[in-house]
């Protein structure tokens, strides 16, 4: 029983930090059940894993802290990948004048724009359809071989690699939002030219509907490119997770 509880520390921390498994919409009982089931499987698949003799001792508490550190690091990489579409949606919504259209974020528990919610749903479907969730769970399981209990210090290089993945997240967000924002910029320039040439036109009555229609049309046209970016995000997240486990 203590062995399963100890294994649940790393698995539970990883699932808690991950965007899909740790969503606020997932009941706590479901999370605990999944974590316990994975811990039982890991204890059977990897009998060589040694657990501390006394979990409530100083050595045991340090081992538990290291387990939580590894799990949170693996989940945080996946969390950064799912943050890229949200950042891109904020930029697109601001350009379209739809920043006030917000909805409840089932993943993070806060609020996000409607486009952000749409992007997160599409990315989640791609994440599940490609089997990336199974690959990620397998990587979390393999982390027990890369970081056995008691040797869970990630090191400066791995922590820097995790932080460096944030720059990839912002770069991907720019690539997702760039086609739509360029079209919105052209629409705004055209609206400004019309307002200067015909001052009697109501700029607010003309610019806002034109921006919304142009943004929706740009999203429909650039949808294949956006979906390819989402697939690339999933692949890069798994590659960075593997790089964290690499010796």
pLDDT tens, 30-64? 888 888 888 888 888 877 777 777 767 777 778 78
Listed in sequence order, the residues at least 6 apart from 241 whose beta carbon sits closer than 8 Å to its beta carbon are: 74, 77, 78, 136, 139
* Nearest one of 176, 165, 179, 175 to 214, comparing CA atoms: 179
Cα radius of gyration rounded to whole Å, the chain = 23
pTM above 0.85, yes or no: no
pLDDT digits (tens, 9 = 90+) for 99-154: 666 666 656 656 677 777 888 888 888 888 888 888 888 888 888 887 887 776 66
User: Cβ distance 190 to 213 under 8 Å?
Assistant: no
Instruction: Count structural domains, the chain.
Output: 1
What is residue 152's predicted lDDT score, i.e. its pLDDT? Answer: 65
DSSP 75-95: HHHHHHHHHHHHHHHHHHHHH
Residues spanned by the domain of 112: 2-245
The Cβ of residue 52 has, within 10 Å, a number of other Cβ atoms equal to: 18
User: Cβ distance 99 to 113 under 8 Å?
Assistant: yes
Q: How confident is the model at residue 204 (pLDDT cuts 50, 70, 90)?
A: low
């Amino acid at each position: 029983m203590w062995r399963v509880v100890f294994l649940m520390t790393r698995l539970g921390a990883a699932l808690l930090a991950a965007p899909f498994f740790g969503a606020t919409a997932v009941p706590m009982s479901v999370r605990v059940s999944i974590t316990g089931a994975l811990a039982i499987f890991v204890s059977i698949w990897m009998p060589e894993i040694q657990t501390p003799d006394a979990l409530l001792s100083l050595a045991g508490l340090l081992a538990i802290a290291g387990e939580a550190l590894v799990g949170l690091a693996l989940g945080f990489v996946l969390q950064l990948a799912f943050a890229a579409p949200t950042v891109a949606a904020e930029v697109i919504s601001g350009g379209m004048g739809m920043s006030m259209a917000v909805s409840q974020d089932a993943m993070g528990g806060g609020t996000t724009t409607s486009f952000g919610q749409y992007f997160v749903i599409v990315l989640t479907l791609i994440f599940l359809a490609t089997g990336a969730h199974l690959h990620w769970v397998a990587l979390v399981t393999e982390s027990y071989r890369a970081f056995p209990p008691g040797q869970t210090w990630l090191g400066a290089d791995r922590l820097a690699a995790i932080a460096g993945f944030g720059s990839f997240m912002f770069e991907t967000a720019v690539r997702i939002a760039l086609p739509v924002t360029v079209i919105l910029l052209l629409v705004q320039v055209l609206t400004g030219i019309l307002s200067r040439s015909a001052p009697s036109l109501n700029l607010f009555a003309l610019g806002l509907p034109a921006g919304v229609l142009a943004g929706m049309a740009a999203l429909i046209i650039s949808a294949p490119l956006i979906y390819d970016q989402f697939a690339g995000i999933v692949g890069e997240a798994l590659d960075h997770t593997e790089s964290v486990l690499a010796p």
